[in-house]
Amino acid sequence: MAGHNLPLPDRSASTRPGNGLNVQPYYPTSHRRPSAPMMPPFMVSAPGKVIVYGEHAVAAIAASISLRSYLLVTFLSKSRRTVTLRFPDISLDHTWNIDDLPWAAFSHPKKKKYYYDLVTSLDPDLIAAMQPHIVTVSPKLPEPTRKIHQASATAFLYLFLSLGSQKSAPCVYTLRSTIPIGAGLGSSATIAVCLSAALLLQIRALSGPHPDQPPQECALQIERINRWAFVGEMCIHGNPSGVDNTVSAGGKAVLFKRADYNKPPTVIPLRNFPELPLLLVNTRQSRSTANEVGKVAALKAAHPIITDNLLEAIDHVTESAHALITSPDFDPTHPAALQHLGDLITINHGLLVSLGVSHPKLERIRELIDHTGVGWTKLTGAGGGGCAITILKPQPASSLRSSSGGSSCDSDEDDCNSTPATTEPHSNLKMLDTLEVALEAEGFEKFETTLAGDGVGILWPAVLHNGNEEEGGEEIDQEKFLRAEGNEGIERLVGVAGARGQVAREVREGWKFWRP
């Protein structure tokens, strides 16, 4: 489909998305035909993240996960002159009149920013100019919800006003996410990355992704998205580290070091980090990063030598993982390599327990998972709640649910908990089924995901193609997007394969990712 060819970069500051596309002829007001949308809808997606090694220490490794946020951009008719931010997962739905927004403040010669600029701080004058348009967002809701809604609106408007113009196309930006919110998985960063990429695409400041894109150009595109995503993160968090948006934009993994919290961390991409099956369990226990950092500080004040040794040992864990992954002969498929990474997961968790940042719910999750022997488990993030991650051990060939001649479990009606005669009764998959029941019985939420996959991606236009190469495809519109139920419904709609390698009934194509 011709619409899959993305617009090439146009360095003109006057470039507007959709100019000249499908413009309706003029008719007198009394006989005017309804104008059509200026462009077909498109979709942007970005992954969440976990800390794999190094919490509370100087060096850490963070990696993307295949739980993602999805942003659908729907163009309205040229005459509508409104822009809407719709985030049903948090019940946010707000519309602004484009012509009423503070364009004069953002286009002032001393304030104007361009897509290639590096923005490291928010302009207080621009924030002030936005306030009348932020306070109208969810004003009657309880304060905690209102703060979340207004922070999201601030990030959106700051990016929209910085990258767009008063002639920007009227649109609806609809966001859905498969990432648990507030669980330390970088959900806000995925929102910022999706918005940044979508707005940069609309002003034609991105030229990819495409199969023949040179690596350097691809890296530049990711960095451009990442820079503006960081601006969005500043609107939400004030002083973010930049790690979450960097992982979400680029995917795979990064090594970051932050010896001085008054300076940005050093971030080194780890493109060789292996894609691994990952079990993610949400304790549903709220936690405060500041509280957990405070616990470590208090322990250091009381026992400085011991605490320093624990933190140094965590740094050594990260360095050992980094040395393995970056070694010339690293083979992620070799059992010894995975055992090395798994052992480091176990060691890292033990050290974090010694620092006092675990939680009884995290320990219960680890106990349940360790009893099955399916993998190596640790807490991820600051601790005190949040999530635990488990790198799964390789699945033996005999643990497949069916023999090569049997039917696969890809039907909603199939009994996916049954074990064929050709299957060992204690296979990894059977144990995961049993584990899921045990975890849910105790109030935990389990996700089977993938570690260190792709970063930001696009579906342009928002049409999924099936494997029989028939003309056209299935368009993802707002109604379908809003109607999709839960993670499974969203992933099925956007064409993501099911868990555990299940084969989808239709092989869908169209998603493209920047891969340096």
| Residue 149 φ then ψ, to 5° | -60, -45
State pLDDT tens for residues 137-172: 999 999 999 999 999 999 999 999 999 999 999 999
Q: Which residues are catalytic?
A: 244
Half-sphere exposure of 470 (CA within 13 A, CB side): 8
**Global pTM value:** 0.85
pLDDT band (50, 70, 90) for residue 261: confident
Whether residue 130 is predicted with pLDDT greater than 90 in this model: the reply is yes
How many Cβ atoms are within 10 Å of 86's Cβ, its own excluded? Answer: 18
Whether residue 82 is predicted with pLDDT greater than 90 in this model: the reply is yes
Query: What pLDDT, on a 0 to 100 scale, did the predictor assign at position 247?
Result: 97
CA–CA distance, 486 with 112 (Å, rounded to integer): 40
CA–CA distance, 428 with 396 (Å, rounded to integer): 8
pLDDT band (50, 70, 90) for residue 11: very low
Instruction: At 88, list the tokens.
Output: 């049903």
Average pLDDT, the chain: 85
Query: What pLDDT, on a 0 to 100 scale, did the predictor assign at position 24?
Result: 33
- Considering only CA atoms, give the Rg of the chain: 24
Q: Does 410 or 36 have the greater pLDDT score?
A: 36
pLDDT band (50, 70, 90) for residue 258: confident
Percent of the chain predicted with pLDDT > 90:
72
Residues 197-222 have a mean pLDDT of 92
Query: What pLDDT, on a 0 to 100 scale, did the predictor assign at position 210?
Result: 86
From the list 394, 56, 41, 11, the residue with the least C-alpha distance to 205 is 11
State pLDDT tens for residues 326-370: 999 999 889 999 999 999 999 999 999 999 999 999 999 999 999
Query: In whole angstroms, how far apart are CA 137 and each of 38, 145, 340?
Result: 27, 11, 50
Query: What pLDDT, on a 0 to 100 scale, did the predictor assign at position 500?
Result: 53
pLDDT band (50, 70, 90) for residue 100: very high
Query: What pLDDT, on a 0 to 100 scale, did the predictor assign at position 37?
Result: 56
From the list 395, 345, 339, 389, the residue with the least C-alpha distance to 369 is 389
Query: What pLDDT, on a 0 to 100 scale, did the predictor assign at position 19?
Result: 33
Whether residue 10 is predicted with pLDDT greater than 80 in this model: the reply is no
Q: H or E stretch including 377?
A: strand 375-380
Query: What pLDDT, on a 0 to 100 scale, did the predictor assign at position 103?
Result: 98
Residues 20-24 have a mean pLDDT of 32
Comparing 61-70, 254-263, 323-332, the range with the smallest average pLDDT is 254-263
Cβ pair 169, 205 in contact under 8 A: no
